[in-house]
Amino acid sequence: MQAVAIIPARYASSRFPGKALADIAGKPMIQHTYERVQQAARVSRILVATDDDRIAQAVERFGGVAVMTSPDHATGTDRLAEVAATLADELIVNVQGDEPLIHPEMIDTVVRLLAEEPALPMSTLRIRIETPDDIFNPAITKVVTDLNGYALYFSKGPIPFCRNEWGDFVRRGEGLPDFVPPQVACHVGLYAYRRDFLLRYASLPPTPLEQLEQLEQLRVLEHGYRIKVADTAHTSIGVDTPEDLEKARQLFR
């Protein structure tokens, strides 16, 4: 079973406007992402969803397919749902346009989870956190799962919190502990959905924890739906700032 990949790409990013067209090794970033997705065995076709003619034209120049969407969407999920509503494909995978180093196996994994479990509405990934700095970094989203790999919660905070190992450090405010339990994992923002669920998800009202943490995926859990989370050994660099862009450029040299 294969999925259609949709890559949402905005020009008016608040932190880094125009980043989708930023040059990396002679190509716009959106092209690198597109070409990585093309390598995924479980993707049948790729669409770039954008509200900007400059991005659409760049995609068409390298032979990709762009779909124009409304400029008024509050979230990337809303943009994704607008495109999904016009498709007949059962499975949709959402790949962010600012992931020029995404590994194709990551995409195949989230699609495989849905193919293996017909009742599963949504899937995503996690990777183990290795350093205390990352555990306590609010820029990194953490995820905890049950024994069967279904998400229990996502948070910017340190979850699960190791009371015995970390409690004294936090109370004293002295540096960071060395202990990193194997259960602490970073959420990787790659999602696959069943089309019908994606359309339902986009219509659900925002929820209290979603608004508190500013994590849209919590809306799914708060409304009682399940998200399957698979482990991955692959890392990727999301380009959110000019500094991230320079890191990505270094890796392409």
Q: CB neighbours (10 Å) of residue 89?
A: 16
Phi and psi, residue 139, nearest 5° = -80, -10
Separation between Cα atoms, residue 233 and residue 199, nearest integer Å: 30
Q: How large is the average pLDDT for residues 5-14?
A: 90
Q: Which of 52-61, 116-125, 127-136 has the lowest mean pLDDT?
A: 127-136
Is the pLDDT at 115 greater than 80, yes or no? yes
Average pLDDT of the segment spanning 120-126: 99
pLDDT band at 13; cut points 50, 70, 90: confident
CATH architecture observed for domain 3-252 = Alpha-Beta Complex (3.90)
Q: What's residue 45's pLDDT?
A: 98
Q: Are strands 151-155 and 142-145 parallel, antiparallel or unpaired?
A: antiparallel
Q: Which residue has the tokens 């989708």?
A: 20
Q: What is the mean pLDDT of the chain?
A: 94
Q: What is the pLDDT of residues 172-223, one digit of tens each?
A: 666 667 778 888 999 999 999 999 999 999 999 999 999 999 999 999 999 9
Q: How far apart are CA 14 and CA 49, in angstroms?
A: 18
DSSP-derived pairing of the beta strands 91-94 and 227-231:
unpaired
pTM of the predicted structure, to 2 decimals: 0.93
Give burial (CB, 10 Å; 0-12/13-18/19+) of 13: middle
Percent of the chain at pLDDT > 90 equals 81
| Cα–Cα distance measured from residue 54 to residue 74, given in angstroms and rounded to the nearest whole number | 20
C-alpha–C-alpha distance, residues 41 and 35, integer Å = 13
Q: Identity (one letter) of the amino acid at 95?
A: V
Supply the pLDDT for residue 47. 99
What was the pLDDT predicted at 76? 84
Domain positions in the chain are 3-252
Q: Within 13 Å and on the Cβ side, how many CA atoms surround 247?
A: 13
- pLDDT tens figures, 155-174: 999 999 888 777 766 666 66
**Statement: residue 1 has pLDDT above 70:** yes
pLDDT in tens, 67-109: 999 999 888 899 999 999 999 999 999 999 999 999 999 999 9
First-to-last alpha carbon distance for the chain, in angstroms, is 35
